[in-house]
């Protein structure tokens, strides 16, 4: 028996959905505006997860150019039936220009390639799919109630899907609007059939500290559904803001090969007060069945720091970044479009072609990043480039277009010579926090040293012995509690000409992500 550390996917891996095929488990999470979208993980023991691909990994599958931060891909559901993997998801477009909606994609290999999306004629968010044992297929999802009794009341709908035509057919059934009166956002619904009974799992309370998991059951897939008297069956909201994990919810169930039941849930680990810079992470919880109802974390009633998994192998951290992050690593992400538009692998790093667009723009700037997965971490980027006036290349920690921090090498502006600067963008307003003159140097090692909520930005000439601290930023100003949105932090490299035509290429010689022992 092995003790598995929670979270099993540290960093911003929210809205986990899981299924089992034979001895293998597969898991997908939301990615919002990041590309490639919807990472696919595989495990044999629910503890060690290997990323094997993405669902959205090529230009033309989806168009989310111009979609602002915390829009994009929300709450997927992954299922397997008769040799085919099915995934349904929502593309959220805050501009409401007709690109958003719910879609379905399929693949015979979860590593890809996945099909182009088939758009479903239904509104709302958080679609899910259920294959019944009578060969019928049922879609379900969440939307704001047509006739709400309270603010942000939602309803869960169920409707049959023709799997061949991939179209919704037959009548729609509204089956649920929350376990508790005045609850907001009964969302993330999933249907299951256990011992002849249909179970509807849903999240409630919004995906912040009031998040919770509730359950209902019925004799028919279309209801009527009876809520458990023990609802919510899992929540941390009663533990307060000082809990080690908050915001627990958005559960999905899976039965292991040995007959045991498990749930993946999201949650956040606050530090430095109620701030969770790592975002919403994926946790694992044991599930038991008593009197015809699921019991989450039996005997404990909360997400444990470690969970016993009898069939787990020797455990190592799942999907963690450590050491040099090579170009072939699947955890590299860009924004809204393929990195091939501006980057080419070279040795242990990349050639980044500067683009006129910046991190302020909701497009595809020249940015490559990875999730921050550790509270204490050192990140080093060695960059060699000859910049023109007004150009910059450097290291950034990103929350959104309006909230990020950059430490960068800049071109010889107005004869001042090259320099390293740290600029904080907060709520759309930019402030220079520090500068260091460099003369004519074109090779620099830029670093971020995060220790809790202290984010120090440093620079060192290549071949030099000492790093200079250019500025220190309070990380509490960067997380989604302070800025809004749904994302954890990304750390990456970028290169921009700040709106000017350019032919400059920056060479990222290496990128290191080094967790610091606590």
* Per-residue 3-state assignment (H helix, E strand, C coil) for 7-48: CCECCCCCCCEEEEECCEEEEECCCECEECEEEEEEECCCCC
Count CB-CB contacts under 10 A for residue 229.
Answer: 7
CA distance linking residue 320 with residue 299, whole number of Å = 30
Specify the pLDDT at position 461: 83
Beta strand 167-176 with 187-194 is: unpaired
Do residues 493 and 396 touch, judged by C-beta distance below 8 A?
yes
Average pLDDT, 10 consecutive residues per value, the chain (518 residues): 90 98 98 98 95 96 93 97 98 83 98 97 96 97 93 95 97 95 92 98 94 98 97 97 96 97 98 97 98 97 95 67 90 97 96 98 98 97 94 97 97 74 97 86 90 96 83 97 96 97 96 90
CA distance linking residue 201 with residue 105, whole number of Å = 23
State the fold for domain 2-309: Tachylectin-2; Chain A (2.115.10)
Specify the pLDDT at position 443: 86
CA distance linking residue 155 with residue 138, whole number of Å = 16
Specify the pLDDT at position 95: 76
Residues of each domain in the chain carrying CATH 2.60.120.200: 323-515
CA distance linking residue 333 with residue 488, whole number of Å = 14
Which residues are part of the catalytic machinery? 15, 187
pTM confidence score: 0.96
Residues of each domain in the chain carrying CATH 2.115.10.20: 2-309
State the fold for domain 323-515: Jelly Rolls (2.60.120)
In 118-226, which ranges are continuous DSSP H helix? Answer: none
- Listed in order, strand segments (DSSP E) in 145-211 are 154-162, 167-176, 187-194, 197-204
Helix (H, G, I), strand (E, B) or coil at 63: coil
Specify the pLDDT at position 417: 67
pLDDT tens figures, 216-244: 999 999 999 999 999 999 999 999 999 99
Specify the pLDDT at position 412: 78
pLDDT tens figures, 430-444: 999 999 987 666 789
DSSP string, 292-308: TEEEESTTT-S--SEEE
Task: Kindly tell me the sign of the dihedral angle through the C-alpha atoms of 229, 233, 237, 242.
Answer: positive
Instruction: Return the half-sphere exposure (C-beta side, CA atoms, 13 A cut-off) of residue 230.
Output: 15
């Amino acid at each position: 028996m092995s003790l598995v550390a929670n979270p099993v996917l540290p960093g911003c891996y929210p809205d986990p959905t899981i299924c089992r095929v034979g001895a293998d488990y597969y898991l997908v999470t939301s990615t919002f505006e990041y590309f490639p979208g919807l990472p696919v993980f595989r495990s044999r023991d629910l503890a060690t997860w290997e990323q094997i691909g993405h669902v959205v990994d090529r230009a033309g599958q989806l168009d989310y150019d111009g979609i602002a931060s915390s829009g994009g891909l929300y709450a997927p559901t992954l299922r397997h039936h008769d040799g085919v993997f099915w995934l349904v998801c929502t593309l959220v477009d805050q501009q409401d220009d007709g690109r958003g909606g719910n879609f379905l994609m399929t693949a015979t290999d979860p590593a890809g390639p996945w099909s182009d999306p088939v758009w479903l004629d239904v509104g709302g968010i958080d679609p899910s799919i259920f294959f019944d044992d009578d060969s019928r297929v049922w879609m379900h999802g969440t939307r704001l109630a047509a006739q709400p009794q309270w603010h942000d009341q939602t309803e869960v709908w169920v409707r049959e899907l023709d799997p061949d035509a991939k179209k919704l057919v037959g009548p729609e059934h509204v089956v649920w609007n929350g376990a508790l009166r005045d609850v907001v956002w009964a969302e993330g619904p999933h249907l299951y059939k256990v011992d002849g009974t249909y179970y509807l799992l849903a999240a409630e309370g919004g995906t912040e500290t009031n998040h919770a998991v509730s359950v209902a059951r019925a004799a028919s897939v279309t209801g009527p559904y009876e809520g458990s008297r023990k609802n919510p069956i899992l929540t941390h909201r009663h533990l307060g803001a000082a809990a080690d994990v908050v915001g627990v919810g958005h559960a999905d169930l899976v039965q292991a090969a040995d007959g045991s039941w498990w749930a993946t849930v999201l949650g956040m680990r606050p530090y430095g007060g109620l701030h969770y810079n790592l975002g919403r992470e994926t946790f694992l919880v044991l599930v038991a069945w008593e009197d015809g109802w699921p019991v989450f974390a039996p005997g404990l009633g909360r997400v444990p720091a470690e969970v016993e998994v009898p069939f787990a192998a020797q455990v190592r951290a799942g999907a963690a970044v450590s050491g040099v992050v090579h170009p072939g690593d699947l955890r590299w992400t860009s924004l809204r479009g393929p990195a091939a538009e501006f980057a080419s692998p070279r040795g242990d790093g990349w050639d980044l072609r500067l683009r006129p667009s910046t991190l302020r723009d909701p497009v595809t700037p020249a940015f490559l990043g990875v999730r921050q997965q550790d509270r204490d971490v050192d990140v080093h980027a060695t960059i060699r480039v000859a910049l023109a006036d007004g150009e910059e290349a450097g290291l950034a920690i990103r929350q959104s277009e309006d909230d990020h921090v950059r430490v960068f090498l800049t071109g010889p502006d107005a004869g001042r010579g090259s320099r390293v600067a740290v600029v904080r963008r907060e709520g759309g307003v930019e402030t220079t926090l520090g500068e260091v003159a460099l003369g004519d140097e074109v090779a620099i090692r830029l670093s971020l040293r995060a220790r809790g909520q202290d984010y120090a930005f440093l620079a060192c000439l290549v071949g030099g012995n000492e790093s200079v601290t250019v500025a220190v930023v309070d990380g509490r100003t960067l997380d989604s509690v302070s800025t809004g949105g749904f994302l954890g932090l990304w750390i990456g490299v970028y290169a921009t000409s700040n709106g000017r035509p350019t032919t400059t290429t920056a060479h990222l010689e290496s990128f290191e992500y080094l967790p610091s022992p606590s």
